[in-house]
Amino acid sequence: MTTLKKGDKAPDFSGFDQDNKFHQLENYAGKKLAVFFYPKADTPGCTAEACDLRDNFERFKANNYELLGVSADSAKAQSKFKDKFKLPFPLLADEDKSVIEAFGVWGPKKFMGREYEGISRTTFVINEDGIIDEVITDVKTKAHAAQILK
């Protein structure tokens, strides 16, 4: 689905998080940024992934990383998800899918034989200069921090 690859310039995205705070790529200059796209807040796989990142948050900070979660959920749903699991990083409420489409993670999916359109669980690791260092498409939800921090 995504055509972005290691070495590409990250899309110049912008959007609002669960608290209506504005985020854009340039806010993260000088830091590594892991942008993780997930299908739906407060579902089993997405919860496992977010909680693994939460549990390793201090390791991310120690390595100059910022984390940013993105889904097409509403700000209200993102806020509930963040509060329920005490997530220490912002969650973009990308209801118009502008960030999702900029990164190319929206498209056909299959679940139990049914095809539908949705978000492919994908993480982009962006370096301090705004260049993509890694694209993780085979996300291990219970051990995702280790995939990023290797």
- Give 23-47 pLDDT, tens digit per residue: 999 999 999 999 999 999 999 999 9
Q: Enumerate the β-bridge partners of residue 33.
A: 66, 126
Share of the chain above pLDDT 70, in %: 99
> Which residues are within 8 A (CB) of 31 and not within 5 positions of it... i.e. 6 or more apart?
64, 65, 66, 128
pLDDT for 2 beyond 90: no
Tell me the CA distances in angstroms from 138 to 14, 46, 60, 128, 149, one per residue in order: 25, 14, 20, 24, 15
Contact criterion met (CB below 8 Å) for 122 and 139: yes
Q: Which two tokens stand for residue 107?
A: 């498209």
Contact criterion met (CB below 8 Å) for 124 and 117: no
Share of the chain above pLDDT 90, in %: 90
Average pLDDT score, the chain: 95
pLDDT for 133 beyond 90: yes
pLDDT of residue 1: 66
Rounded to 5 degrees, φ, ψ at 106 are: -105, 130
- In 8-142, which residue ranges form alpha helices assigned H by DSSP? 44-55, 57-62, 75-84, 98-102
Rounded CA separation 15/73 (Å):
13
- Mind telling me the catalytic residues? 46
Digit-coded pLDDT (tens) for 43-97: 999 999 999 999 999 999 999 999 999 999 999 999 999 999 999 999 999 999 9
pLDDT for 6 beyond 90: yes
